[in-house]
Amino acid sequence: MHQKQWEFLKNKFDNDQLSHAYIFEGPDQLGKQFLAKEFIKYIHCIDSLKPCQNCVNCKLIEKENFPDLLVVRSNASTTSLKEQVDNMEIDISQIRSAQNFLSYKSYYGSFKSMIIDNADRMNVEAQSCFLKQLEEPKGKTIMILVTAKPQMLLPTIFSRCQAVKFFLASAGEIKKYLESKNVTEKKAEYLAELSEGKPGRALQFLENSAALEHEQKTLQDLLQVINSDLATKFQYVKKLNLEEGGFNRIMEILQRYFRYLLLQKNGILLKNPAVETKAFTMGQIKKIITLIEDLILQASVTNTSPKLALEILLMEI
């Protein structure tokens, strides 16, 4: 994917013609930031097949722990909406520390690199500060600005960087990419169609659809078990892996299901024949929901065995 852009950059580096600053521009979810990091790996990889993904440098760059790389991004991962909006900006203090980082000598005597993700989030102050950095480039430095909104950058910044444009990928390219991640052909084709040229979106679908499919399969198994005799129930619990959060995942699936039944009983949701099981009265459903909540709490604060807790629940249903 983005083969032309990749070849262009590799060629520049191999021929010692790198510019100090690039702007990777193009719609969201194309993999611009991904490619920026891959390129930094290419510069620093110590294997002959670059980037190998396995050498110490590749691994440190992937984790953004490489001493000669700084990734600047706005911190929008907080919970409150107000904080999120406030933190959308990349402010001048972040650019100042970036300048500070770039002013030190390279740890490995090679390139100092900086990636600014969503560079359009730099406020005007930050952009003016960054402009100074561009005006006096120092030694072996490469700065990559990643943005889907290049028009938000000062024209003076734009004119001092080399733009690398990214375009929507073809469905065929995305399909091939997904297949390289062990996705079956049919599913890759389907996801490629859904993702409208954006590999990042295809990956999102992939992650969610896997989780969704898994949950549906588990629920189907559980419903089947609920309808069978005690021996089958115990047999089922015995085979389950309830470690590492497995217990909570199963309890949450059941919790969602019974809350869903409750909403149906109350006429809030339409009956969905796909998830029908034996008939429960309103009272039974409420009792089961309370029991699930109790058991989750018990398992989290006492040393109740998760298997025993699930057995208790299945006996009651």
Q: Which residues bind Zn ion (CB under 5 A)?
A: 45, 47, 52, 55, 58
Minimum distance of Zn ion from residue 231's CB (angstroms): 55
- Give the nearer residue to Zn ion in terms of CB position, either 59 or 307: 59
Minimum distance of Zn ion from residue 49's CB (angstroms): 8
- Give the nearer residue to Zn ion in terms of CB position, either 52 or 206: 52
CB contact set of 195 (below 8 Å; sequence gap of 6+): 174, 201, 202, 205
- Give the nearer residue to Zn ion in terms of CB position, either 60 or 312: 60
- Give the nearer residue to Zn ion in terms of CB position, either 47 or 316: 47
Q: Tell me how long the chain is.
A: 317
Contact between 315 and 238 under an 8 Å Cβ cutoff? The reply is no
Minimum distance of Zn ion from residue 51's CB (angstroms): 5
Beta bridge partners of 146: 24
Alpha-carbon distance of 197 to 219, in angstroms, equals 33
- Give the nearer residue to Zn ion in terms of CB position, either 66 or 166: 66
Instruction: Provide the token pair at 115.
Output: 């990636």
Minimum distance of Zn ion from residue 108's CB (angstroms): 13
What ranges in the chain are assigned the alpha helix state H?
3-14, 32-44, 56-62, 81-87, 92-103, 124-135, 155-160, 171-179, 185-194, 199-226, 230-239, 246-265, 282-301, 306-316
Minimum distance of Zn ion from residue 50's CB (angstroms): 6
